[in-house]
Structure 1
């Protein structure tokens, strides 16, 4: 955080079937603009473990930060975002449950996504089916780049989707949402509903579920907007 009251810390949280390296382009764009960016590596073993991993990174921040989550990462930032260092939340085609809800409940009443297919092993961990990965996760990436993501994906413990969220940071902190209009992981109506319910400032962008890679410029711009707006709100609160 700079001494003039600007918020320059950003923490990025990845979702299921991915790791933090997918944020590289967003990282490069933000650091070039003077932001200090930290990337969480979620173990994807439980909601508690992912929140703990995010909290460890938030503890390292030297002042207010914008907390960003993609997909499953939205559930993680919803709970971890109550951390005192969090000044604002950015949901990138992300889940946004309320306290007392599970992630699975967010899907109720919305259309299925046939191109987004998860194979679950006997140990309860899920991988995205490789032959559907390009269409379901990263349709706007090249075949080669999508293949690399498919072959390097991180499985998630499917039990996480039935874990009850203990707190909803979006109830007390300003939120923004970037929604990919060609997302095949979620029903579009579901993404719009979640972002609308939390009162997020919504930016729609053409892109797949991998918009954190393919639409990095838009994602970075929204994060910068969030940082400036949250800093302004904080300054106004101090004056009043």
Structure 2
């Protein structure tokens, strides 16, 4: 073989090896620890009823499911609420958070009972990171314009922002029902920073909502990639757990160590 031919062959072989290695790395599946317990944590502008469509899908697979009722007054209060529920679990537990609850599970996920973390269109700042500053690196999500503060330092989304930007892919009547149970957010949450980012040490999964108007989808992708999460994308608004519950349930089942291909 001529020298230049040998060089070309080596170059092609190396390129193939590099490409194959990159593909293997990008398709690596995170190892899930089989669990019986799943704890679901709701985000802002919602309550535990936001998991109403996902819960029966998980229970049908034999999982023990608990939905936390966060006060959404402060990060510390919400983490405390999750830890009270974790204390009641009888073994390894999967912790799932939607939206702001990503911060809550990142902090509470340090609990030794927690074996994995699932983020549904969720915040996932690093420990001590300024989340509002992180959001400013991406185009502003429209829902933020609808945040209305009361005189006692609590905020809610306006009806228009809730129906259009928060739950935009739900039928209007259904979105209005969830608007009626919206919980106010305490101002302390706007400046809260986690002291722990459990996703550094626990296997993590992330569902990006591609039509999200509450958290920028590219910000979701950034956070998922940074935590090296097993990631899926769902063609949904911020409330994929309501508009695409089977997709969300399947990700949770996968993280719980179940074979979702089996009926």
**What's the TM-score, normalizing by structure 1?**
0.91
> Aligned partners of 1:162, 1:88: CA distance in 2, in Å?
26
Question: Partner residue of 2:37?
Answer: 9
CA deviation after TM superposition for structure 1 residue 155, in Å: 0.7
> Aligned partners of 1:6, 1:173: CA distance in 2, in Å?
14
Is contact 1:11-1:38 (8 Å) kept?
Answer: yes
Is contact 1:176-1:201 (8 Å) kept?
Answer: yes
Is contact 1:44-1:157 (8 Å) kept?
Answer: yes
Question: Partner residue of 2:252?
Answer: 223
Question: For this pair of structures, how many residues does the alignment match?
Answer: 225
Distance 1:162 1:115, change over 3 A: closer
1:145 aligns with 2:158: no
> Aligned partners of 1:27, 1:177: CA distance in 2, in Å?
18
Which of the residues 40, 57, 61 maps onto 1:33? 61
Deviates further, 109-118 or 73-82? 109-118
Deviations 1:107-144 (A, max 9, x none): 12111122442111122211001122111111111111
Which of the residues 185, 205, 215 maps onto 1:186? 215
Deviations 1:84-128 (A, max 9, x none): 110000000000011112332331211112244211112221100
1:77 aligns with 2:105: yes
C-alpha RMSD of the superposition: 1.3
Q: Tell me the SS of whatever aligns to 1:131.
A: helix
1:122 aligns with 2:186: no
Question: Partner residue of 1:64?
Answer: 92
1:20 aligns with 2:58: no
Runs of 4+ deviating beyond 4 Å: none
> Aligned partners of 1:56, 1:140: CA distance in 2, in Å?
33
Q: Tell me the SS of whatever aligns to 2:52.
A: helix
> Aligned partners of 1:123, 1:222: CA distance in 2, in Å?
39
Question: Partner residue of 1:111?
Answer: 139
> Aligned partners of 1:226, 1:89: CA distance in 2, in Å?
8
Q: Tell me the SS of whatever aligns to 1:127.
A: strand
Q: 1:97-108 counterparts in 2 under 5 A?
A: 97-108=125-136
> Aligned partners of 1:71, 1:220: CA distance in 2, in Å?
16
Gaps of 5+ in 1: 230-240
> Aligned partners of 1:42, 1:87: CA distance in 2, in Å?
21
Which of the residues 171, 174, 198 maps onto 2:203? 174
Question: Partner residue of 1:165?
Answer: 194
Gaps of 5+ in 2: 1-32, 259-263
Which of the residues 66, 75, 88 maps onto 2:116? 88
